[in-house]
Structures are given as C-alpha cells and as structure tokens.
Structure 1
Amino acid sequence: MANLWQFFGLPDPEGSVSSKKKGRSSSNRTKATNLQDDVSQQTLIPIVDSIPETPTLIEASSIPKQTITQAKSSLVAIPAGWKGPVSADGEPFHDLGVITSPRRSFPSRALRYVAPDEKKRIPTRGIGQRISTGDTVIVDLRSLVHMDAHQNACRRELKMMCEEIGVEVFSLDAEDKLLMIPGSDVVVDRGSNHLGLNPLM
C-alpha cells in the first residue's frame, strides 16, 4: 500500500531496513529496465546535430531603399531652438504638466460692479475716476424697487457724469436697471448688440 512519502517520490522514513534491502534489489532491476526503455525511446526520436551556420553578410545594395526611407520618415525632426523635452524615440513633445509661462503683470483694467449704498446713493465721482483709468463699470439699480423717481435721478446723474468724461452709458436690460459704462479706451460694438438707454434720456 502506497503512502504519502511514496506519492511524492520520497523514501519512507518509518520503513524497515530489511524492506529497504529488498526494495533496493527490486528497484535496481526496475531501474535497469526503465533505462533500456528510455534508451529505446531516445532512439525513436532522430537526433540532428545542429551545426551553427556562419552568419552571411548582406550587402547594402541588396536591402531595398524603401525600408530605409520609411524608417527615417517616421522620426520627426527637432525644430531649431527647441528647449522642451524629447521622448525616448527622439521626438519633441510638449509636457502639459510643466508650468513654464512667466508671471503676468497685474492687469491695469478691471470690470467693476456698483450698487447703491445704504442711503441709496451712487458714488459718481469714484465711478468717474475709475472710468478715466480704463475700468468698465456696471451699475445695478435693481435694488431701488418702488423708487422710479430715484432711479431716474440716478440715471440722469450717471448720464451727466459720462458726458463730462466723454463716454456713453449703455443699458444691458429692457428696464434700464442694469447699466454699463465702458472705460475711456474701451470700444463697444453697437452693430451686433442692441445697447442704449430709453430715448427719453
């Protein structure tokens, strides 16, 4: 009866010495027959002596020129003055993770939003100073609900201030409650946009 040791092909450590001697003589006979079988099996497979052939040299004229030109055309030439990274294939590429742009200076113009203060006043002098420096100002009169007379007074005051500076006031909504005053050097396209106050002003 076979045990675990024989299953793995290991000798049985608990086996008796006499059984080992008998096993050896019988195992020697089986080994001899196995060797003869192995030899006969080896003779069935033809053995071919592999002699390494000397490498033959191929002349450059025998290689088609098309393959050489295709290999050269697949590479992209590095542009003159290229300072960026180069791939392993030798092609230049833009690494989008690297920040190399210089810091920009602080902008000289701004877009300002102005709404009436707690006393429902609009700072026209401050708006005039900002407009003369080139800032664009958006004035929101929507907080003056139920105060039509005060809204008209604010519009007139803004229109007078803009006439002194030399710019125009534009309405951004149909109710003339959201007004835009462009800066002194800002160009407004009136052809594609319908801008302006009501004709009463």
Structure 2
Amino acid sequence: MGNLWQFFGLPDPEGGSQPPQQQRPAAEQQPTLEQREQIAKPLVEETQEVAPLLAPPTSWTGPVTPDGEPFHDLSSFARTTKIRPKRALRYVKPDSKYRIYTNQISERVRQGDTVIVDLRPLVHMDSHQQACRRELRTMCEQVGVAIFALDSEDKLLMIPGSDVVVERNKHELGITRLLRVE
C-alpha cells in the first residue's frame, strides 16, 4: 500500500531514501494454475442484429457518412436565407428627462410588436406616473389595443401589438395567484 507521496509520484520525505520497489508488470509474471484455468475457458461473444439503416430524407442535401446516415457538419458555415421576425418584444422606460415617446410606441404596436413599459424609475413622482399612464391609455385607444398592468402597483404595463391575442379569463400574471389563500 502506498502513501500520498507515492500517489503523486514524489519521494516520501519521512521515509528512507530508497524508492519503493516496483512490482513486475503482469506480462512478466508467471501465471498461476488458477490463472491458466481462467485463460483456457473460451469466451462467448454475443452478437446483436444490426437494424438496416434508413436512407436519408429525400430533401437531405448535406454530406452522408459511409454507413449512409446524414452527417451534420457543425464546422461548416452556410447561411440560409435570413428570416426577419415580424414581431418583437420591446422594453421601454422613461429617458433621462423622464419622457415616454408614445408616437414611436404606437408605430411599433401597429406593426405587431408587444411593448412592456416600465414606470418604476418614476418611483417618487406619482403625478408624473399618472400622466404617463393617461398618455399611454390615450395612445392605446387610438391604436385600438388594450393596456395591461403586470404588477399590483401598475408600474409595469404591457401593450400587446395589433393582432396579438391576450387571454383574459383564466390567465393570471405575476405572483398574485401564489399569494392568494383559498
């Protein structure tokens, strides 16, 4: 049994200056009678039937392995036609002068983008928060979409884009459902 120093291949500082004796490799040792009996037994290999390989899909245009399977070369860099998304999720908060640009928001909402408006930076300006809410409500009425509060203080508002469906009956946002005791 070796010690920690031998494990790392270092000489033992507490032990003698003689290195530990190495055992002869297993190939040089003479096999014992028990080992000869174990070697004499023939090994039985189990073979498993290999299922026939399926041909690659007809639309496959990439390389194929020698077995006939499609090969996905992750190092090849081939661009496909870039698909530009039609809709996006936008996050808006007041700028450094605490303004919210409803004209640009209304354009994005008409294009189908969903906008999240964050009024939390206006934490000490209640009257300014109310003015921003009124302006956003007026903008939503002009565009023809509803505005939803995502938190209990009405500081995080969601304006869905045109043609975005919001289910109002069963869906509850936030943690209010977790806090409700029934």
8 Å CA contact retained: 2:119, 2:129: yes
* Structure 1 residue 189 displacement after superposition: 2.7
- The within-5 A match list for 1:1-201 is 74-89=52-67, 91-97=68-74, 98-100=76-78, 102-194=80-172
Once the two structures are superposed, residues 27-86 of structure 1 have per-residue CA deviations (whole angstroms, 9 ceiling, x without a partner) of xxxxxxxxxxxxxxxxxxxxxxxxxxxxxxxxxxxxxxxxxxx67x53433444543322
**More helix as a share of residues:** 1
What is the rounded CA distance, in whole Å, between the counterparts of 2:121 and 2:59 in structure 1? 58
C-alpha RMSD over aligned residues = 2.4
8 Å CA contact retained: 2:53, 2:69: no
8 Å CA contact retained: 2:100, 2:132: yes
Gaps of 5+ in 1: 1-69, 196-201
TM-score under structure 2 normalisation?
Answer: 0.58
* Structure 1 residue 101 displacement after superposition: 5.6
Query: Among the aligned pairs, what percent are the same residue?
Result: 56
What is the rounded CA distance, in whole Å, between the counterparts of 2:103 and 2:55 in structure 1? 61
Query: What SS does the corresponding residue of 2:136 show, helix, strand or coil?
Result: helix
* Distance of aligned partners of 1:191 and 1:78 in 2 relative to their CA distance in 1, 3 Å threshold: same
What is the rounded CA distance, in whole Å, between the counterparts of 2:100 and 2:117 in structure 1? 9
TM-score under structure 1 normalisation?
Answer: 0.53
Once the two structures are superposed, residues 163-196 of structure 1 have per-residue CA deviations (whole angstroms, 9 ceiling, x without a partner) of 111000011112110111111122223344226x
Query: Amino acid of the residue matched to residue 161 of structure 1?
Result: M
Of the two, which has the highest radius of gyration? 1
Query: Amino acid of the residue matched to residue 178 of structure 1?
Result: L
8 Å CA contact retained: 1:84, 1:92: no
8 Å CA contact retained: 2:56, 2:70: no
* Structure 1 residue 140 displacement after superposition: 0.7
* Distance of aligned partners of 1:94 and 1:176 in 2 relative to their CA distance in 1, 3 Å threshold: farther
